[in-house]
Amino acid sequence: MLPLLLTLVLSGTNPPPVEAWAQKACPAPKKEPDSNVEFKAALEARATCLKKAMNKSIDRVLLPLKKKDPPAFKQWMGLQADYNRWVADACAAIEEANWVDVSTGERAMGTGYGGTEQECLQRQYAWRGFYADAWARGDWKAIAAAQDAYAQQAPKRVDVLSQYQKKTQAAAAQAPAQVPPSDTPSQQLSRDDWKDYNGRLERAASGPQALAERQCALVPKADAACAGSFRASLTAQLDFTDALGATGSP
């Protein structure tokens, strides 16, 4: 069951060539988990593996630039650091959305916490690793094909996130200034809690634009569509469909 589930995790939004790269870099384990804890541990291990594989691909881009083009090397380094921060923030936002009920203003907790975040990290690291690997080989057609596939999903993801943000902003406007601590797994969110929550959602939504512009500044002979295509490849993976569905359609 685990290999199938992990395969589905990666194939949820990633185009087939990206998943093929990920499967080759980090083959799914064959042993089935005996518990939810083991399953989540396997998801985290896969995400860690893919992050390492991603970094190796990026090194193949960076090392030639270190002597050949130091300014580009520095820009790539800064971009990757900001990308890593954005991915961590965005995937955490998707996880949190599973546990926040905008209709009641409460945040819950359960044994499944963390699984969605690791799935998100797997997908993002797989795409970034594939992208850097293709870049290092000069395979711009492979990058373009993958971006075209992401572009088909991106508009719906952006729309869903926008709808969800409207609901969380409405919930924030009705939240109490202060709330007493809870003895149960559920906790009412205060205005400050909602401010932090909505701030993270906004960073998840707005981050891809700046990352795309910086990435395309490094692409040789980038065309006018570069930034839009790269932005779509990131936003296509911001899936808040379940969170919006749990709140009801607007």
For residue 181, what pLDDT is reported? 82
Examine the pLDDT at 32 and tell me if it is beyond 80.
Answer: no
Gyration radius of the chain over CA positions: 19
Examine the pLDDT at 247 and tell me if it is beyond 80.
Answer: no
And the tokens for 244? 């919006």
DSSP designation for 152: H
Examine the pLDDT at 22 and tell me if it is beyond 80.
Answer: yes
Looking at the DSSP bridge assignments, the partners of residue 188 are: 106
For residue 44, what pLDDT is reported? 87
Rounded to an integer, the average pLDDT of 19-37 is: 82
Q: Which residues contact 19 (CB under 8 A, 6 or more apart)?
A: 7, 10, 11, 126
Count CA within 13 A, CB hemisphere, residue 91: 21
DSSP designation for 29: P
Domain ranges of the chain: 17-103+110-176+187-245
**What is the distance of C-alpha 20 from the center of its chain?**
19
Q: Which residue has the tokens 């075209």?
A: 148
The DSSP result for 83-95, as a single string, is HHHHHHHHHHHHH
Biggest distance spanned by C-alpha atoms of the chain = 60
Going by pLDDT thresholds of 50, 70 and 90, the confidence category of residue 34 is low
- CA gap 97, 171 in Å, rounded: 13
- Tell me the pLDDT of the chain averaged across its residues: 89
Please write the tens of the pLDDT for every residue from 128-168: 999 999 999 999 999 999 999 999 999 999 999 999 999 99
Please write the tens of the pLDDT for every residue from 107-118: 998 878 888 999
- CA gap 167, 46 in Å, rounded: 33
Going by pLDDT thresholds of 50, 70 and 90, the confidence category of residue 246 is low
And the tokens for 182? 């809870």
Rounded to an integer, the average pLDDT of 9-28 is: 81
Q: Which residue has the tokens 């065309």?
A: 223
3-class SS string, 105-123: CEECCCCCCCHHHHHHHHH
For residue 180, what pLDDT is reported? 86
